[in-house]
């Protein structure tokens, strides 16, 4: 059975969700979450992804742990999902695409 997750919408993108901060999404991967978000909030996928990957400077945290697999991260159990700035050891991305 595909689990349901709590997905937090980044504050700067809540203009697309009428201010909604979190939504519940049934998905097997982070990629499926983004697709589901796009269905409900058109334009969100283009902000979070580029060329079928999370944009440079954005990472996904699943249950408090940043995933190196990005959109390919599998979600085998109900999870809390955050899209957050990629800061690794410190600096944020220094460009855009």
Partner 1 sequence: MTASTYKVIGSRPLRPDGVDKVTGRALYGADVKLPGMLHGKVLRSPHAHARILSIDFSAARALPGVRAVVTAQDLPSIGDQMADLGESTVNLRYVSNNILAHDKVLYYGHAVAAVAADNVHVAEEALALIKVEYERLPHVLDGKQAMLPEAPILLSDLRTNELGKLGGAPTNVASHLCHQRGDLAAGFAQADVVVERTFQTAMVHQGYIEPQTVTALWNEDDQLSIWCSTQGAFSVQEQLAELLQVPLSRITVTPTEIGGGFGGKINVYLDPVAALLSRKAGHRPVKMTMTRAEVLAGTGPTSGSHIRVKMGARRDGTLTAAEAELIYEAGAYPGSPVGAGCSVIFGPYRLENLQIDGYDVVVNRPKTAAYRAPGGTNAIFASETVIDELAEAVGLDPVEFRLRNAVREGDSRPDGPEYRRIGLMETLEAARTHPHYQTRLTGKHRGRGFAVSAWFNWGGKSSATATVNKDGTVNLIEGSTDIGGSRASIAMQLAETLGVAYDDIRPQVVGTAGVGYNDVTGGSRTTFGTGWAVYEVGKALLAEMGRRAADYWDVPAESVHAENGVFAHNGDRLTFRELAGKLDVPVTASAAVHPQGYGPGFGAHIVDVEVDVETGKVTILRYTAVQDVGKAIHPSYVEGQLQGGVAQGVGWALNEEYIYDAQGRLVNASLLDYRMPTALDLPMIDTVLVEVPNPGHPYGVRGVGEVPIMPPAAAVANAIYQAVGVRMAELPMSPARMAAALAAQG
Contact residues: partner 1, CB under 8 A: 8, 10-14, 21, 46-50, 55-58, 61, 63-68, 80, 82-97
What is the smallest separation between the CB atom of 91 and partner 1, expressed in angstroms? Answer: 3
Q: Which is nearer to partner 1, 75 or 83 (CB)?
A: 83
What is the smallest separation between the CB atom of 33 and partner 1, expressed in angstroms? Answer: 15
Sequential DSSP letters for 54-84: EPTTEEEEETTEE-SSGGG-B--S--EEEEE
What is the smallest separation between the CB atom of 59 and partner 1, expressed in angstroms? Answer: 10
Q: Which is nearer to partner 1, 1 or 90 (CB)?
A: 90
Q: Which is nearer to partner 1, 27 or 55 (CB)?
A: 55
Q: Which is nearer to partner 1, 2 or 84 (CB)?
A: 84
What CA–CA distance (Å, rounded) separates 51 from 79? 25
In this structure, the chain runs to a length of 97
Q: Percent helix, strand and coil across the chain, each rounded to 5?
A: 25, 30, 45
């Amino acid at each position: 059975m595909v689990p349901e997750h709590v997905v937090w919408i980044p504050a700067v993108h809540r203009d697309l969700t009428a201010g909604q901060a979190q939504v519940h999404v049934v998905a097997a991967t982070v990629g499926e979450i983004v697709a589901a978000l796009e269905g409900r909030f058109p334009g969100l996928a283009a902000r979070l992804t580029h060329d079928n990957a999370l944009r440079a400077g954005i990472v996904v945290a699943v249950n408090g742990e940043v995933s190196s697999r990005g959109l390919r991260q599998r979600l085998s159990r109900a999870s809390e999902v955050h899209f957050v700035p990629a800061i690794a050891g410190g600096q944020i991305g220094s460009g855009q695409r």
